[in-house]
Chains A and B, each alone.
Chain A
């Protein structure tokens, strides 16, 4: 766990006293709102490298972006909310959040908008024993990407820097 939110919200005269565990897989670098697994109070937090940079600040009436991984109440016999309870703790899918799923980003153009041979699969070489020619003729070997590139050139999206 990189940090906790110890919920001190008073509800019906009773302090919530729930420890919400913030796991590094989700919260290591994270900004948003997270609910208390017990009372549902929404807190805004901002974490940088596992350090609580801002928050937790209460955000009454707002919707949470996600939930803690797990929560318990150490002052109440360690009553526990296990992972994956809808609305309380985060669904337990053994997956990090979307941006870390490592889906291939098939780049066809560099940052300045010029052609890059960076997507897969590539057409095989026509050479013997795995040999490749010295020049990759994009127009001939990847005509669809070449067309896309021409469009970029027409729009002036291919720059010098």
Chain B
């Protein structure tokens, strides 16, 4: 080190003395990512939507999820449920007592089902029968002090109750109002929706499932993927509306039809019809555009002695992708199906329907005396893309998800130990990560916090409303 500090030379300073050395000193990129995203350290970082207050008069999964996205990113969300009953989703799924108690003081023998999970987390739960004239004033006051509202009633219901966008924007011109429902205005304006209805009406179910000749049916996805998907699309709309409001100072009305949103997931189906008049068919675990690119059945389970049928019988499926000519050649070599390669060297030949039937049948025959893991190993060792089709338990035990915090145990302040996947499966953010503060709260758990502490109503009044079942 130079004696005179004013004459410190760059190379004498601690740290890298050249660009090359700097490069050398950089931590490996994977370690850098681990440090940046710091799984488990989410609560030590700021929240992107802190300062936003959102009202949620939503039910089931679709519209609640659009708001849960905001709550996980830091917005203060007030979920308003019907007094004593709560969101019907609390009582639906899954059946047979997978419940967490309590639901509400007045109903000690009723719990909330896990189906509620992930669509209403980190929110404040109050109760209000907002269509009563007596509660209108409280409702309007909440609107005045909030940034937006998401509702899911039949089209025009809130308008009839004088709380649609055209009423609320007069109270709060910056208000962002979301209606999420089945069809929206048009010939089926009063049609409600569920996930399955969205999948059916949008044409998605017609291209899902195995073909007739394989013994298949039109199929819906088992979980409510269109509910989760449509809810997320609403969130994008809300974030864009908030950005618009920063520029103009004005609110927006978002009218979101679930069946309409589901058509977006159809991909090339619609333009295909537009150009050729072809109505797309379903092709199940195979692919109409690529071959080989599908899921095959192996002969032996990976867990033949397990008691669980998912393990015992279903741990037999492998996803395999070898549609490039070189990969397909390798696949045929490794499986001893060289005559198939000789027959279908060009992709355009093997992607036709009949060759696909022949190729997949031959592959399944080859796999018929092998277990799932044997098939995966043989294919992966040959450099072919292959992965086992995993079940829930395997996902839980998967090291990849554990390291990234996708599946994690959550110590809920009210309900205790719960295994979660939803919040932390939505992409990592280095500066303002999503987090789940609590899975949900009992019906009306925050009545005093919101009505008294936030809005300033006297406790006497809150108790009076409660006694009358208005809240």
User: Which range contains the number of A residues in contact with the other chain?
Assistant: 20 to 34
Known contacts A105-B97, A112-B417, A125-B442; is-contact A130 B447 (Cβ 8 Å): yes
Q: Could you say which of A109, A114, A117, A125 contacts B100, with CB atoms under 8 Å apart? A: A117
Q: Is B101 a contact partner of A124 (Cβ separation < 8 A)?
A: no
Q: Could you say which of B102, B417, B448, B459 contacts A122, with CB atoms under 8 Å apart? A: B102
Q: Could you say which of A29, A111, A114, A116 contacts B309, with CB atoms under 8 Å apart? A: A29
Does chain B have a CB within 8 A of A75?
A: no
Does chain B have a CB within 8 A of A119?
A: yes
Q: Is B111 a contact partner of A111 (Cβ separation < 8 A)?
A: no
Q: Choose the segment among B174-182, B249-257, B461-469 that binds chain A (4+ C-beta atoms closer than 8 Å).
A: B461-469
Tell me the A85-121 residues at the B interface (CB within 8 Å): 102-105, 109-112, 114-121
Q: How far is the CA of A13 from the CA of B104 in the complex (A)?
A: 69
Q: How far is the CA of A116 from the CA of B416 in the complex (A)?
A: 4
Q: How far is the CA of A160 from the CA of B451 in the complex (A)?
A: 39
Residues of B with C-beta under 8 A to A110: 409, 416-419
Tell me the B424-464 residues at the A interface (CB within 8 Å): 438, 441-449, 451, 459, 462-463
Q: Is A131 a contact partner of B417 (Cβ separation < 8 A)?
A: no
Q: How far is the CA of A109 from the CA of B409 in the complex (A)?
A: 13
Q: Is B445 a contact partner of A117 (Cβ separation < 8 A)?
A: no
Q: How many residues of B contact A (CB 8 A)?
A: 43
Q: Is B447 a contact partner of A136 (Cβ separation < 8 A)?
A: no
Chain A residues touching B, majority SS: loop
Q: Could you say which of A128, A134, A136 contacts B448, with CB atoms under 8 Å apart? A: A128
Does chain B have a CB within 8 A of A132?
A: yes
Residues of A with C-beta under 8 A to B228: none
Q: How far is the CA of A101 from the CA of B444 in the complex (A)?
A: 32
Residues of A with C-beta under 8 A to B100: 116-118
Known contacts A127-B448, A129-B448, A131-B448; is-contact A120 B416 (Cβ 8 Å): no
Closest Cβ of chain B to A106, distance in Å, is: 8
Residues of A with C-beta under 8 A to B105: 124-125, 130
19 contacts between A and B (CB under 8 A): A103-B97, A104-B97, A114-B409, A114-B416, A116-B100, A117-B414, A118-B100, A118-B101, A119-B101, A121-B102, A128-B466, A129-B448, A129-B451, A129-B463, A130-B105, A131-B444, A132-B441, A135-B413, A136-B414
